[in-house]
Chain A
Amino acid sequence: KAGVTQTPRYLIKTRGQQVTLSCSPISGHRSVSWYQQTPGQGLQFLFEYFSETQRNKGNFPGRFSGRQFSNSRSEMNVSTLELGDSALYLCASSLSVGGPTEKLFFGSGTQLSVL
């Protein structure tokens, strides 16, 4: 069974540009969540989608947005990039039938560098 797949693996952008990251969850998983990982802040929750609906959102500005498609694949978009957006962006999926005690399965992440 394939794991969580994130593309691309690496991205280099300049300030002011926008970027779209993609995540394909494990087959059958309906919940996809996104996290930003930085050395100073650790892992911070961005948002979570379930059946194409955003169920939870973290404390990030509106420049960060996401969506989920009917096949559970998800994308996140960051507009007007800032230097501080440089981070590893992780996607995680779960069945999300049992609620918040369920195990998350993480992808390897997309490393975004903003110059």
Chain B
Amino acid sequence: GNSVTQMEGPVTLSEEAFLTINCTYTATGYPSLFWYVQYPGEGLQLLLKATKADDKGSNKGFEATYRKETTSFHLEKGSVQVSDSAVYFCALTSGGYQKVTFGIGTKLQVIP
């Protein structure tokens, strides 16, 4: 079956530090890949997505590249802010409509 692996964290960074959250996946066929973010007290919201190999998704300074050869979709940001503190979920869909497989979620804490 499909699965997504990411570190649980928490990851603690100072403001303006570089962020990488690793995500690897196992899926049949050609999955679409997503990063969702959950800010404190809010529902999940889509951060970025990529639907085919070598696509790069980007939003709000975050980027992730769909690497089929390494089955990875690592999230990066060059300079984090306190407002980026949240839980980040890597996810995929493959085959079925809207059946999303999520990773465990990585909690990011950015300190001033």
Give A residues with C-beta under 8 Å from B. 3-4, 31, 33, 35, 41-45, 48, 50, 55-56, 58, 90, 92, 94, 96, 99-109
Contacts and interface: CB of A to CB of B under 8 A. Distances in A.
A42 B96 CA distance: 20
A49 to B, nearest CB: 10
Contacts of B44: 90, 92, 104, 106
B97 A56 contact: yes
Interface residues of B, number: 25
B43 A100 contact: no
A45 B101 contact: yes
Contacts of A55: 96-98
Interface stretch (B14-22, B74-82, B102-110): B102-110
Given A100-B93, A101-B49, A108-B43, A45 B99 contact: yes
